[in-house]
Amino acid sequence: MFSLALLLSYLVGSVSGSLLLGRLRGVDIRTLGSGNAGATNALRTQGKAFAAATVLIDLSKGAIAALVIAKLAATPEPSGAAFACALCAVIGHCLPVFFGFRGGKGAGTAFGAMLVLVPLTALAAIAIWLLCLLLTGYVGASTVLAALTALLGIFLITPLELPGLAYAAAMLLLVAGMHHSNLRRMFNGTENRFEKARLLRRWW
């Protein structure tokens, strides 16, 4: 049952919000803009409503895997099963079997799981993401900093909860790895900023 729960979580994660909605609209956003299947490219190429729906779907996948599917595992460590299922959903989002294993970068699904498992830490991470985005306009750097905040938050709040720490560490490595090209371009000064989000640009 544990293996089944992990497989189901991966399959749920493979239902990419932007790619599913794109098929209904007759577009593949991987061929537009930055070529990424995430919410940022969805916003830039398809508009606010499309991007909002994408975020909702991607957050829900992580929450469903952690809160619902993990209950099928019936293990003596329910938190461990929840975080394991959440991680499989994130992997499914990044490597979706339904879309040729070319998906998004996993942050939305990862934080969706955290919202139901460690809500205060998730909210703190999202607040850091928003602040960094408003200051810099760099979505990738903001996302990696939010993932680092999540790891530090879980460590400070529940330092002995190994499943949560392992999930946060894996999420940080995965998010950083998926955003490595963004970070490289940022350090080289060639990364595009999300200028409309830089409401605090006068401070930067």
Residues 169-181 have a mean pLDDT of: 89
| Confidence band, pLDDT 50/70/90 cuts, at residue 82 | very high
**CB neighbours (10 Å) of residue 203?**
8
Q: Quick one: pLDDT at residue 68?
A: 93
pLDDT digits (tens, 9 = 90+) for 123-163: 999 999 999 999 888 888 999 999 999 999 888 876 657 88
pTM of the model: 0.87
Terminal alpha carbon distance of the chain: 51
H or E element in which residue 89 lies: helix 78-94
Mean pLDDT of the chain: 88
In angstroms, the CA 22 to CA 36 distance is: 13
Percentage of residues in the chain having pLDDT higher than 90: 47
In this predicted structure, the answer to whether residue 191 has a pLDDT above a threshold of 90 is no
In this predicted structure, the answer to whether residue 202 has a pLDDT above a threshold of 80 is no
Question: Around 42, how many Cα atoms within 13 Å sit in the side-chain half-sphere?
Answer: 26
Handedness of CA 13, 18, 23, 25 (dihedral sign): positive
Query: What are the tokens at 176?
Result: 């950083």
User: Of 26, 18, 20, which Cα lies nearest the Cα of 44?
Assistant: 18
In this predicted structure, the answer to whether residue 181 has a pLDDT above a threshold of 90 is no
Q: DSSP class of residue 142? A: H
For 162, residues 6+ apart whose C-beta sits below 8 A from its C-beta are 80
Query: What are the tokens at 177?
Result: 């790895």
Q: DSSP class of residue 196? A: G
Q: Say whether 121 sits in a helix, a strand or coil.
A: helix
